[in-house]
Structure 1
Amino acid sequence: MNQAILFNDDATYCSDKQCITFTAMQQGMRIECQIAKAFNSSADAIAHFEQWRFDYEEQSEELIEAEAFSAQGIITLKAYK
């Protein structure tokens, strides 16, 4: 794990956008990460995120290091299962 990238404990689910969002910090910069996936409830979304948290953080690290930001400065992740 890259110690220069820290992940906050702030995962939320936006039912309007159908995505889970969480943030990372790199050199004092807050980076928004999104996982596009529909869920029946916020509780289901957060349970899914917690189940795959390590994998999502690892995927985020790779994309942040590759500077794979969207035009809005967001990292978009591939959803697991």
Structure 2
Amino acid sequence: MNQDILFADLQTWDSDRQAVNFPAQQGGALIHCWVSLAWLEKKCGQALVDEAAVLSAFAQCRFDLEDIAETMIEDEEFNQAGDIEIN
């Protein structure tokens, strides 16, 4: 794992966006990383019907998600807002 990119042990569900936000830090800059509900449901193979289920699914996939986000950050695959989106 790249030690220049750090992930905090934080995650929040955004119901408007239908995605979980998990922050990363690179060189002191905060990077908002997002994973969509659809991605989590596909990975888990089931519908996630409430915030607790979504966050539980996120926790199960956390290491994979951090690896994906790390690669996207290194490859500078940011959206227009400067965020990383895993869809």
Q: TM-score, normalised by structure 1?
A: 0.90
Aligned-pair CA distance for 1:10: 1.4
Which structure has more helix as a fraction of its residues? 2
Q: Identify the residue that residue 69 of structure 2 maps to in structure 1.
A: 60
In structure 2, how many angstroms separate the alpha carbons of the residues matched to 1:54 and 1:60? 10
Q: Which residues of 2 match residues 1-81 of structure 1 at below 5 A?
A: 1-37=1-37, 39-78=48-87
Deviation track 1:21-63 (CA, whole Å, cap 9, x = no partner) reads 1100000000000111154211111101110000000000000
Across the aligned residues of Structure 1 and Structure 2, the Cα RMSD in angstroms comes to: 1.1
Percent identity (aligned): 41
Contact 1:13 1:42 in 2 (8 A): yes
Structure 1's unaligned 5+ residue stretches are none
Q: Identify the residue that residue 45 of structure 2 maps to in structure 1.
A: none
Aligned length: 78
Superposed structure 1 runs of 4+ greater than 3 Å apart: none
Structure 2's unaligned 5+ residue stretches are 39-47
Q: TM-score, normalised by structure 2?
A: 0.84
